[in-house]
Structure formats: structure tokens, C-alpha cells
Structure 1
């Protein structure tokens, strides 16, 4: 997670407060599937405690984990882009407590208030860019002859 992808950095206090008014506290036991690739994306979460892994269906094999998410991170971005279908799957790897948001309500709030909508779109865009970069590094580490080159 980078500071640019956190809710605190992405939204002003006013917009953050507005979004949190529609949050619902939820919890998931370890091993619970939050969503499956290709299914309808109608909600999203911000993790409070615990770990969620994102995975990709691989025909004939077990799903490949592409990233692990922890406290403060957004779980799910597919709700923001038509056709609103999950691009990955997600599973709670430990007990998880999170805030859950109804995607349709957030999209409606975004349509009614362009400033709020722009802030949400920028936040989700940063998360997508971060996840794409992380997936690229993971693939290079797995398949490139010399890895990603991200040796510190």
C-alpha cells in the first residue's frame, strides 16, 4: 500500500466523512471468499483488521495469489467500471473486520456531486495503478530470467 492509495490521503475530510456515513461494519472468518472473478461487483470494502488475498483463476490449477491486502486498503475496484464484474477473486486469509460500501450508492453519490465523484475516481484509479504495478513486479519475479530487479 502506498500513502496515495489510502482513503485518508485520497479524500478530503468532508468527502471521507460523507463516504463513511454509508459504511457498514462487517467481518469475515479466515477462508471466506469475498467475491469470485467474473461475478457481479456490487460492493467494496476497506480493511480495518486482517488480511485479504486477491487471486486469479488459472484453468486446471489452483488460483494464483497476486496480492495480499491489509488494514486501510481498498478491497475491490471492479464496482467502479462497467460492466461491474470482478476482475479477480478475494479471500480472507485471517479473520477480517472491514467497512463495506454499496457500490450503487457510491456511484449515485458520485453522479450527484462531481467533486466527490472525481475524488473517488482518482482514489480508485491510484489503487488500480498500484495493483497493476504490483502484479507486474510479481510476474517478473516469477518468470523473468533475473527477476524484477527490485533488489534493495
Structure 2
């Protein structure tokens, strides 16, 4: 059986997971809450977990020499926070900080990778959704960095 799942920005990742896969994943979830201005992870740190945001906003940032942290995207309810846990070397590619109080489901990356290995159909669907998230985040980061470094007076982006 193959399962088609596709997440679009603003669509809850849980909404696109088939019910059987959603149930498996949520069996590993732990509810967590973070106050405003909490650093959740830093670029280069060990990526050993990820979250699905229930409420609140998280800013994703990149460290730019001489400029400090620069926000490249903000994400909210239904969004996957963290994808670096999936691929070696399992280090965060961005940093993340809450913009307001956030509630989320937290997942231990090792447990989820083990579930993916034990259930290949589940693993394929989840990896596909994570890959879509990676692509979206890379495009958002590229756009933000182009905006930051575009020569002044060069006109609007094409």
C-alpha cells in the first residue's frame, strides 16, 4: 500500500499524515510548553528531538558573522519544528526561539527513527514530509538572505 501525503506551508503536518501513521507518531509525543523568548536550539547543536507546534510562534534564525542572529522564517501551529534529527551528522542547521508562549508535542528523534525503521511505510511518509519541510525552509532562508544582501537601489527581486 502506498500513501500520498503532502504538506503545504500553513498546513498541519498531522493533518496530512494518514490516520494510522498519525496514531503511531502521536504515541511517541510528549506535551511541552515554553515561555516567550526561550531558545529551543542553536545552530550546530545536537539535534536529538523535534516538535510539532500546537500554539504560538517560533522564529528560525541563522547566525551571520558581524550581524548576529537573523530571522529567516517564523512558523506556527501545525508546523514541524526541527528536521536536522533525521540526517547525519544530526546537528541543527538553524537556531530557534519562541516569539510568544508555545505549546508543542515533542518527539525523541531516536524513538522516531526506530519507528521508521520498524515500519517502512510510515517511515517513507514521514521522511517525505520532512523533506518537503527542508525544501521549504531552504527556499525561505535563501529568499531572506537575498533580501539582506541585495545591493541597495537594485530594485525589486524578480
Check if 1:6 corresponds to 2:18: no
Distance 2:137 2:12 in 1: 10
Inter-CA distance 70–88: structure 2 relative to 1 (3 Å threshold): same
The 3-state SS of whatever aligns with 2:142 is helix
Aligned positions of 1:52-67 closer than 5 A: 52-67=58-73
Structure 1: where are the runs of 5+ without partners? none
Residue pair 1:5, 1:127 contacting (<8 A) in 2 also: no
Q: RMSD between aligned alpha carbons?
A: 1.6
Q: TM-score, normalised by structure 1?
A: 0.90
Cα offset, 1:5, TM superposition: 6.7
Inter-CA distance 8–148: structure 2 relative to 1 (3 Å threshold): farther
Partner residue of 2:127?
121
1:75 alignment partner, one of 70, 81, 95: 81
Cα offset, 1:4, TM superposition: 6.4
Cα offset, 1:55, TM superposition: 0.7
Structure ranking higher in helix proportion: 1
Distance 1:142 1:131 in 2: 16
Partner residue of 2:100?
94
Report which stretch shifted further, 138-147 or 22-31. 138-147
Distance 2:143 2:157 in 1: 6
Inter-CA distance 120–140: structure 2 relative to 1 (3 Å threshold): same
Report which stretch shifted further, 44-53 or 135-144. 135-144
The 3-state SS of whatever aligns with 1:110 is helix
Aligned positions of 1:30-45 closer than 5 A: 30-45=36-51
Cα offset, 1:139, TM superposition: 2.6
Aligned length: 148
Structure 2: where are the runs of 5+ without partners? 1-7
